[in-house]
A and B are shown apart, each in its own frame.
Chain A
């Protein structure tokens, strides 16, 4: 049972570098999202998608891009990494009308 799979698990970037965090789900969920988690701030929504070809901004979208070309995949792109983007990133998915959100195991990103 794969569920939501994120890669990489750990990444160190230099300021200004770009990278993509990959996310895939095998549950045929319409809804996918990306959160970042920082100490004392819970989970903050970056971007979300309610289906292939549809994306929208969350609470903290600046510095991140997303696309949703298939139901299964929802990559998160950092075009020019900044130290403020050091965080733990979680990808999540759910059925369109469902309440249960399924999370990946997280990606630890450090920008130096």
Chain B
């Protein structure tokens, strides 16, 4: 069974600080997605990365896909309270492409 690991599990920072969260697996990803989930709501897709070494930017968020496609990172510049939430990575299972599996998530709290 392919497992996704995310670190750190919890992160609490002051507004304006930078941070990086990580997602990795022992297997090669076909593609990788990052979602953000706010309290009381369902996850919402932020980005999909497909190519090894790929970098995508979404305003203050920078997503990087490892060259070997086994890891990914999400970097937030100048964090704001609105960035608070659970950040989840997801990928297709190696045993069945139709199964989409999620990591345990990084819970981010940005303190004003």
Contacts and interface: CB of A to CB of B under 8 A. Distances in A.
Interface residues of A, number: 24
B58 interface: no
Interface in B36-62: 40-45, 48
B102 A42 contact: yes
Interface in A8-53: 31, 33, 35, 40-45, 48, 50
B85 interface: no
B98 A59 contact: no
Given A42-B88, A106-B42, A101 B100 contact: yes
Contact of B33 (A44, A99, A103, A105): A99
Contact of A90 (B42, B96, B103): B42
A100 interface: yes
**Which label, helix, strand, loop or mixed, suits the secondary structure of the B interface?**
loop
Nearest to A106: B42
Given A41-B104, A42-B88, A48 B99 contact: yes
A66 B103 CA distance: 24
A103 B33 CA distance: 14
Nearest to B10: A40
Residue in B42, B43, B48 with the greatest tally of chain A CB atoms within 10 Å:
B42
A88 B40 CA distance: 10
Nearest to B35: A101
A99 B48 contact: yes
Contacts of A33: 100
Residue in B6, B98, B105 with the greatest tally of chain A CB atoms within 10 Å:
B98
A9 B41 CA distance: 11
A56 B98 contact: yes
Interface of B: 1, 4, 6, 9, 31, 33, 35, 40-45, 48, 88, 90, 96, 98-105
Given A35-B102, A90-B42, 16 more contacts: A4-B42, A40-B9, A42-B6, A42-B88, A45-B100, A48-B98, A48-B99, A56-B98, A59-B1, A59-B99, A90-B43, A101-B45, A101-B90, A103-B42, A105-B41, A105-B42
